[in-house]
Amino acid sequence: MKQDLRNYEPDALVQLMKEEKIPSFRGKQIFEWVSKGVDDFEAMNNIPKALKEKLSDKYIIKNMDVVDIMKSKSDGTRKYLMELNDGNIIECVFMKYKHGNTLCISTQVGCRMKCSFCASTIHGLERNLTAGEMIGQIYEVQNDTNERISNVVLMGSGEPLDNYDEVLRFLHLVNHPKGLNISMRSITVSTCGLIPRIKDLMNEKLQLTLAISLHATEDEKRSQLMPVNKKYSVHELLSVCKEYTKVTGRRITFEYALIEGENDSIEEAEKLGRLLRDIHCHVNLIPINPVKEKKFKATSNENAKAFQNVLKRYSVEATIRRELGADIDAACGQLRNKHMEGKKKANFANL
């Protein structure tokens, strides 16, 4: 199986070239080309033809193909369905903001966390993505839009901290000054609350934004919504969040999906305010995108604003996330699920 050069930082590529008996400076040149999103060795015009042929025999620099793009008519959001070299399907979402272009990427094929409102978990976890497959999503979207991605959110399909080592390698790759050079402060890593990995990330002291998917204030409700809570309680999670802010100096974001009749009451807002008022944090209130396979409905705009106002009374900063891509099923997992269902029907029809 050919190795993917998108997985390599410059020093590692230099070492790889040495092992191949190739001058080490070629490793730096190749890294620069890969970081430009080049997906064909022939495009590397300062690399000798013989070397291009040698590289193409053993290595790849393209690890996925775009198979579908859904474009929002209202806000410029684009949702990409991509096929990896092994045939697996992932998705990512391109969003335009005043502060720049954001790409929400996947870190796994599917997910095993089983959050009850999330489309990504429906088919379970297929496998982890490599760092190269994560950064490949950025290259493919930049090539399609001809626009630079300045912000990256690891909040698509998968639990990033369940794929910790590859995510950490991706962070160093995407931040590398000779590569995409995306600032750590422009990167958000989301997690449902894997406490041991949060501690590992804390000790890296990276200046990224950690986003915690909270969604409930008490263990019984959170365990129903997010089974991970059965292992790591709300109290334990918030305790490590306090520690994280002290060690890193970074404010934590709490993601709170507002679900009608489940967690969107004024009483719940009061509980959340009391829980978070002593933590250096920001709350991102998210009226959920309905998923046809799930029973949950988004709260109303009025409820969301009332919830936000309660948090502000507790001096907890909160914003209601602007809904993007609602007309293209932009919630993570939805487009992939549609594709997989279509594939199943086609296979059944051919029997």
Kindly list the distances between the CA atom of residue 38 and the CA atoms of 42, 55, 82, 175, in Å, as whole numbers in the listed order.
9, 14, 17, 18
Residues 74/99, Cβ–Cβ less than 8 Å = no
SS3 139: helix
Phi-psi region of 92 (alpha: psi -120 to 50; beta: other; left: phi over 0): beta
What pLDDT shows up at residue 119? 84
Mean pLDDT lowest among 85-89, 164-168, 312-316, 323-327: 323-327
pLDDT(192) > 80: yes
- Which of 14-23, 130-139, 315-324 is modeled with the greatest confidence? 130-139
Q: Given this model, what pLDDT does residue 334 score?
A: 60
Judged on CB neighbours under 10 Å (0-12, 13-18, 19+), 33 is buried
Look up the pTM and report it: 0.92
Q: C-alpha 296: how far from its chain's center?
A: 23
> Which whole number is the average pLDDT over 326-332?
58
Q: How far apart are CA 294 and CA 333, in angstroms?
A: 12
Tokens of 299: 């709260």
Domains and CATH numbers, the chain: 3-60 (1.10.150.530), 63-183 (3.20.20.70), 192-320 (3.20.20.70)
- Give the span between the Cα atoms of 139 and 135, in whole angstroms: 7
The catalytic residues are 91, 332
Q: What is the mean pLDDT of the chain?
A: 92
Does 338 score more than 70 pLDDT?
Answer: no
Q: Does residue 340 surpass a pLDDT of 80?
A: no
Q: pLDDT by residue (tens digit) across 138-155? A: 999 999 999 999 999 999
* pLDDT of 348 strictly over 80: no
Cβ pair 307, 285 in contact under 8 A: yes
